[in-house]
């Protein structure tokens, strides 16, 4: 939500005051890139003032290092296509392995001159921009919802109205809904036919104040902690009307036996009163970033948990499906793995997993999800804990307050 809000505010005409922003590396990368493009973003902490340029990109040349931020490189690839000049977008070694060609193909249909430097469909990306013509384009929805979100957000500033067609099943639908709702908050309404087509009229965003919800993905770790410990977690600013699809993890935990109470502006999750978590089969296509958390919860259920329809975990910060299976087995769990699914059997012995060191593969969500297991497994070690800087720098400080980390 933070990087969407930054993109929309940068495209709006005038100053927007964004509050309750995520403090994390992904946000820093995005703000730094906007400044490199000549778009002022002032302030610190959770409040930032963005001086939007009405769809203009002031800089005519920029080399942007977007590290491992998928939202930043995808949103900005579409945004700089509105400019006039040469822009190069790059990132870490892992970013150079993450596909972006589906987005570039759609931008090309809308009139952009875009290409990957190596011709392999992955960054670095070079864009020779002269604005977007608009019209019709096809965007594949099977790899990432961020391609569609990026195109939707820049579409009002094309010279002609934009119609986007999605010929295959759209991944992570709630993230598309989030984008459309946030666009409406900034003054642009999208006409849509479900998830098959989206029509965006020409126009411009209205600058103004915008408050960002708390991060439902981050809340998930605390909900999971309550689930496996029999504890009680209250997370504020993620309520029943949240626009974030990841809030549905609480509903999955309820199916497994937790007691969940939704309020207007908070969620309460209590572990099952009898301490028994049920297993089951769950489709997490609409919230794949919660799959690692649920897989760790599965270690402490009474029956196996199968998580389906999560192929795109293989093109995240690491191949998350392979990484998950490797580290769960390191703990002694029986794991079955397919191209787009994983089944996790309950641990037979928590004691035998004591002292295990978990590899994180530089992936913030591997670190945070396996920290949940540390509530039940003695002396669990998380290697490279600093990788949580990407989205939740204070995670281990917060975890310490609930007894999850000894030091």
Cis status, amide bond into 124, omega within 30 of 0 = yes
Taking alpha carbons only, the member of 237, 243, 269, 266 closest to residue 255 is 269
Query: What is the rounded distance in angstroms from the CA atom of residue 390 to the CA atom of residue 226?
Result: 24
CB distance 310 to 288 below 8 Å: yes
| Alpha carbons within 13 A on the beta-carbon side of 263 | 9
Could you give the residue ranges of the DSSP H alpha helices within 205-268? 216-229, 249-255
- Number of other CB atoms surrounding residue 349 within 10 Å: 9
Catalytic sites, residue numbers: 289
Cβ atoms of 80 and 87 within 8 Å: the answer is: yes
The answer for residues whose C-beta is within 8 angstroms of residue 354's C-beta and 6 or more apart is 377, 378, 379, 380
Report how far residue 360's alpha carbon sits from residue 370's, in angstroms, rounded to the nearest whole number.
9
Q: Which residue has the tokens 């392979």?
A: 322
Note the Cα 49 to chain centre separation in Å.
23
DSSP symbol at 403: T
């Amino acid at each position: 939500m933070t990087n969407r809000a930054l993109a929309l505010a940068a495209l709006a005409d005038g100053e927007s005051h964004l509050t309750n922003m995520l403090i994390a590396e992904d946000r820093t990368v995005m703000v730094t890139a906007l400044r490199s493009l000549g778009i002022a973003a002032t302030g610190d902490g959770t409040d930032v003032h963005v001086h939007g340029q009405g769809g203009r990109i002031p800089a005519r040349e920029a080399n942007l290092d977007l590290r491992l931020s998928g939202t930043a490189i995808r949103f900005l690839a579409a945004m700089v296509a509105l400019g006039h000049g040469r822009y190069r977008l790059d990132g870490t070694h892992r970013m150079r392995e993450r596909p972006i060609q589906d987005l570039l193909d759609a931008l090309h249909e809308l009139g952009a001159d875009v290409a990957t430097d190596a011709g392999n469909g992955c960054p670095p990306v070079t864009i020779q921009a002269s604005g977007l013509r608009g019209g019709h384009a096809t965007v594949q929805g099977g790899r990432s919802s961020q391609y569609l979100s990026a195109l939707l957000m820049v579409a009002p500033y094309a010279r002609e109205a934009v119609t986007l067609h999605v010929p295959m099943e759209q991944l992570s639908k709630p993230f598309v809904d989030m984008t459309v709702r946030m666009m409406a908050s900034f003054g642009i309404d999208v006409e849509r036919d479900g998830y098959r087509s989206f029509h965006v009229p020409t126009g411009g965003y209205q600058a103004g104040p915008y408050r960002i919800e708390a991060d439902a993905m981050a809340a998930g770790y605390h909900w999971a902690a309550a689930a496996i410990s029999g504890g009680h977690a209250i997370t504020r600013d993620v309520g029943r009307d949240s626009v974030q699809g990841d809030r549905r993890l609480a509903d999955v935990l309820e199916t497994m036996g937790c007691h969940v109470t939704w309020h207007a502006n908070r969620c309460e999750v209590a572990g099952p009163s009898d301490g028994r978590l049920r297993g089951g089969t769950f489709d997490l296509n609409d919230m794949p970033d919660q799959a690692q958390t649920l897989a760790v919860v599965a270690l402490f259920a009474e029956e196996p948990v199968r998580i389906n329809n999560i192929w795109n975990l293989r093109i995240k910060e690491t191949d998350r499906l392979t990484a998950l299976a490797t580290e769960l087995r390191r703990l002694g769990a029986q794991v079955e793995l397919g191209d787009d699914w994983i089944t996790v059997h309950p641990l037979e012995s928590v004691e035998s997993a004591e002292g295990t060191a978990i590899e994180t593969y530089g992936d913030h969500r591997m670190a945070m999800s396996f920290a949940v297991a540390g509530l039940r497994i003695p002396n669990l070690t998380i290697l490279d804990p600093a990788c949580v800087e990407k989205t939740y720098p204070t995670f281990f400080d917060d975890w310490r307050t609930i007894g999850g980390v000894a030091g």
